[in-house]
Amino acid sequence: MKFKFILLSIAVLLLLSCSEELDIREFSGDFAGYEPELRIEAIILPTENTAIVRIDRSILIDEAELYNCIDDDGDWESSYFYCADDTSSFESKIECDSGCVEECVFHLNDDLGTDGVDSNESGFVKPDKDGSEGNGQPDCGEPHVDEYDEILPQIHVQGCDVQIVRNEDICNFIYDSLAADFFYREGGHTHAATMADIEITSYGAYVPGDDCDTFDWRDFEGEYTFSASCSTFSENDTIRSKEPMRLSKPVVFYMESDHETMKSCVSHDCLIQNSTISDTVYFAEKAPEQYLYYASLFESSYYQAVQYHLDKTSGEYKITHEHPDQATDIENIWGNICLMKEKIITQIFDGNDDGINEADISKYEIFTFSESFTNYYFFDMLDIRDPVRTNLRDQNGEGNPVMGTFGSMTSNEIILRIIDCEQFEDEMACIEDSNGVCQWFPDRDACDMRIPE
């Protein structure tokens, strides 16, 4: 299961100044007596027909036992030398110079220094002043040092009794150290993103137990409640959602030509019936002002748009872009319906010169949220314990707010294909194989993007 958001249970103190950067360690004394708290993210995922519950302890960002600047799991890779004309690699430049027919090249690997950036990638970035770049040992700020798979297992809270209830049905959860995973980009880079830069890591969480096989995670008319009790945080007693939660319904993708009929809808079923879109949408490469259209009920007017590109080497989709969005009265809301559009960058994501357009296939996944998750995710100017932002309460649901939320994330996805019109050398191929996004121009004897009528 891919859980799309990196929702870390970390208490962070962020201090900014308009004149200088402040070292957070200077204020560590203000939090010397800080006691860890629980942070719970219990999310029903109707599209995947399941749910996941993250329970973590909060930490200070300068906690030395966690952020120790040591490669605790042994995955940091040191720098090396290699021959430009073959795959031979060497530990020293002397060995490389003597063993290479052509140029000997130095590759930093993870040994990027405390700024996490390879100074060889750009002339604008200089090697770290502290000499950490290329020094042959792990340092703070480098890839695979204090990274997610080192930190997360140490903040997960196990041994909790977790339940989600729908009407009279009960689902008991069990802890799984490899419950789900997410994508991230390790280290700093000055070059354009490539598939090789995108890494994946797993995290621990609570997942439905064996008694949940028949549990209905897609009851859009039903009500769900949550509870958890953790022995290591017994002072909280049982934590509960303060009121029942209802699932959000997914967006409906549609063609631009459907716009007028979609505006007249008053129900989710009407949106589905009036959409003429297929499961794949095609765009001509470099075509300007191209959009993906989607609709939802007004009750679900906050969204998260996530774009993935297909890595043809691994065969999996990897997140390359995401952002939140919201419907507004001025241009998006028509009675009970929200009509949205996502601008598509019609370029082929290809980070190398191997001649293979490995990422001409992508997909968009649009999420809607329950009211409770909307408050948690979008009202980020409120304190994370604010009673509006969190719907969790300790002392059997009657006590103080607990960091986190119980909510739902419902998604719908669609495949996008970017077509290179210049690949078609004759009129028949241009017309028949371009899925309607290319046009043949006899005066130029060439295939190019279609001109709108």
Q: Distance between CA atoms of 414 and 103, rounded to whole angstroms?
A: 46
For residue 19, what are the contacts with CB-CB under 8 A and spacing of at least 6?
none
Does residue 85 sit in the same domain as residue 44?
Answer: no
CA distances for 369 relative to 134, 326, 375, angstroms: 46, 11, 9
How many Å separate Cα 70 from the centre of its chain? 26
The pLDDT of residue 58: 83
Does residue 175 sit in the same domain as residue 239?
Answer: yes
Who wins on pLDDT, 71 or 397? Answer: 397
Q: What is the mean pLDDT of the chain?
A: 83
Does residue 365 sit in the same domain as residue 318?
Answer: yes
Give the tokens for residue 96: 């490389």
Residue 83 inside a domain? The answer is yes
Domain of 194, in residue numbers: 24-60+144-247+372-409
* pLDDT (average), residues 210-220: 95
Q: Please, which pLDDT band fits residue 15 given cuts at 50, 70 and 90?
A: very low
Does residue 301 sit in the same domain as residue 343?
Answer: yes
The pLDDT of residue 304: 94
Residue 1 inside a domain? The answer is no
- pLDDT of residue 119 exceeding 50, the answer is yes
Number of domains in the chain: 4
Q: Distance between CA atoms of 414 and 277, rounded to whole angstroms?
A: 10
- Quick one: what percent of the chain has pLDDT higher than 90? 48
Does residue 343 sit in the same domain as residue 271?
Answer: yes
Does residue 212 sit in the same domain as residue 312?
Answer: no
Q: In the chain, count of helices (H) and strands (E)?
A: 6, 22
The pLDDT of residue 279: 92
Does residue 178 sit in the same domain as residue 227?
Answer: yes
Which of 387, 453, 396, 450 has the alpha carbon at shortest distance from 424? 450
How many Å separate Cα 428 from the centre of its chain? 41
Positive or negative CA dihedral for 63, 67, 70, 73? Answer: positive
* pLDDT (average), residues 211-227: 96
